[in-house]
Amino acid sequence: MATALQFPANVSTLNNYNDLYPDWTQREVSTGTTIMAVEFDGGVVIGADSRTTTGAYIANRVTDKLTPIHDRIFCCRSGSAADTQAIADAVTYQLGFHSIELDEAPLIQTAASLFRDMCYRYREELMAGIIVAGWDKRRGGQVYTVPVGGMMTRQPVSVGGSGSSYIYGYVDSNYKTGMTKEECLKFTAEALTLAMERDGSSGGVVRLAVISEQGVERQVILGNQLPKFSTV
Amino acid sequence: MEKQHSYSQVKGVSTGTTILAVKFNGGVIIGSDSRASMGESYVSSKTINKLIQVHDRIFCCIAGSLADAQAVTKMAKFQLSFHSIQMESPPLVKAAASIMRELCYSNKEELQAGFITAGWDRKKGPQIYVVSLGGMLLSQPFTIGGSGSTYIYGYVDAKFKPDMSLEEAKQFSINALALAMGRDNVSGGVVHLVVITEPGVKHIVVPGDKLPKFHDE
């Protein structure tokens, strides 16, 4: 049947036709993606691209991967869209309940722990890489990363998703401690743009959010307004 | 965690690696790390030189299976010197790259190696050609390759400018290689750079402790 040219897996091909069924009927919906979060003094900046793919089909080109978990806590989702939505819903419920019991705003570390507990317990079934970020009164702006497998660690800057591999070098060289909110926004937008240009599973618009004591400000950078680089 | 398919999962000793080449005003710089690994957990050599001279002003750097790369470059060196004698003039960089491409394409089933060929010739000046795994040949103003290159795509896209000076190009290459070596566990050791210009060829080695450090180091 499909005994046409058999290319070894490592040779790039121009077109991969499956002659029986289109690609998107056999693939899971994935937020193959680029997500990023940066701490600054007074809050965090989080960002994500907006592409959700089912195989080669872009199921949603304006996805919002920055999901609110509480008033000043957001999570950035990467991996399987279904898994991350389900986990985020469950954690939102648990955190809301906890916050009512506590009678005050929950800590970011608590939210991150809830994500970690779920991602670790069900690690065999889930495919989810999540960055939890926000502002609380005790420790200010914080970023916690919960990658696939269920580890949790706090980092001043964190990137995730399939596109993140391409920007490790850029982030390592450009991040400095003590950046202002505007510098963080510019840094995040540029890093996400570079990743979107190289990663086939990332693209669309750049969604950004700033979380601080004052609240949450969201913005969108459309395709034609993205920063430009000389080779890109 | 999904395993990233890197060249190093292939037969025997492999140069899971980071290589790059960049054109600047008056020449090219070709550079690499110096680690050879077997699988992902054993470093078989900390100081291997992956920059092979195939002619006076033409160098190749290799990514993939070390055995395959050495065999191909040995063959290419021979064919190129023969060609150069027949033509009675130094070979073109494109000729060197074409020879590599022929070898890679005709033997694509058996080979697992990709090359960057860079050099200087009288006809077109400094040039960079990349011959990928299946035998594609492409000319580019700069190029990166090897398993460590995934981590620096963003960095090189942002930082590359055409027509840099020698010093800028050197700094660009050293930074890019240091960043890749910092994130890729099968790249490491020292940075080897070769600067190729009309007057000649210069080999620079930057040892590990002289490499630039970044914010979390």
> Nearest C-alpha of chain B: how many angstroms from A200?
13
Q: Is A185 on the interface with B (CB under 8 A)?
A: no
A226 φ, ψ to 5°?
Answer: -65, 150
Q: What pLDDT shows up at residue A116?
A: 97
**Tokens standing for residue A95:** 């955190």
Q: What pLDDT shows up at residue A32?
A: 79
The answer to whether B203 and B193 have CB atoms below 8 angstroms apart is: yes
Q: How confident is the model over A177-208, as pLDDT tens digits?
A: 999 999 999 999 999 999 999 998 999 999 99
Q: Show Cβ contacts of residue B25 under 8 Å, excluding neighbours closer than 6 positions.
A: B163, B164, B165, B166
- What predicted TM-score, i.e. pTM, was given to this entire model? 0.85
Q: What pLDDT shows up at residue A215?
A: 96
Separation CA A171–CA A35 (nearest Å): 12
Q: What pLDDT shows up at residue B133?
A: 82
Q: Is A170 on the interface with B (CB under 8 A)?
A: yes
Chain B residue with minimal CA distance to A176?
Answer: B215
Q: How confident is the model over A99-139, as pLDDT tens digits?
A: 999 999 999 999 999 999 999 999 999 999 999 999 999 99
Chain B residues lying within 8 Å of A197, measured CB to CB: 157
Put simply, the answer to whether A11 touches B108 (Cβ < 8 Å) is yes
Q: Which of A9, A167, A177 sits opposite B154 (nearest CB)?
A: A167
Q: How confident is the model over A57-92, as pLDDT tens digits?
A: 999 999 999 999 999 999 999 999 999 999 999 999
Averaged pLDDT in 10-residue chunks for chain B of 217 residues: 40 71 96 85 84 94 85 92 94 94 89 89 95 90 92 95 95 96 91 95 93 84
Chain A residue with minimal CA distance to B179?
Answer: A169
- Among residues A33, A52, A63, A84, the one annotated as catalytic is A33
Which residues 189-218 on chain A approach chain B with CB closer than 8 angstroms?
190-191, 194-195, 197-198
Our answer to whether residue A33 is catalytic in this structure is yes
The answer to whether B152 and B144 have CB atoms below 8 angstroms apart is: yes
The answer to whether B136 and B109 have CB atoms below 8 angstroms apart is: no
The partner residues of A76 in beta bridges, in order of sequence, read A66, A131
> Side chain identity at A68, as an amino acid letter?
P
